[in-house]
Amino acid sequence: MTFVPAVWLALLAAALFGASTPFAKLLVGEMPPVLLGGLL
């Protein structure tokens, strides 16, 4: 069974999406929610 390139790209996108939350937590640190909301 061979995977088309779109399947690999979808799996990569899912992995990056799952990894984005811990990295965002490291970058933001202990920023207050009101300040974070203002920046967004």
Domain locations in the chain?
5-39
* Confidence band of 1 (pLDDT split at 50, 70, 90): low
pLDDT of amino acid 19: 92
- Mean pLDDT, rounded, of the chain: 86
Phi/psi zone of residue 2: left (φ > 0), alpha (ψ -120 to 50 degrees), beta?
beta
Share of the chain above pLDDT 90, in %: 32
What is the CA angle 29-10-37, rounded to 5?
Answer: 30
Phi/psi zone of residue 29: left (φ > 0), alpha (ψ -120 to 50 degrees), beta?
left
Q: pLDDT tens-digit profile of 18-36?
A: 998 888 888 888 888 888 8
Q: For the whole model, what pTM was predicted?
A: 0.56
pLDDT of amino acid 24: 84
Radius of gyration of the chain (CA): 16
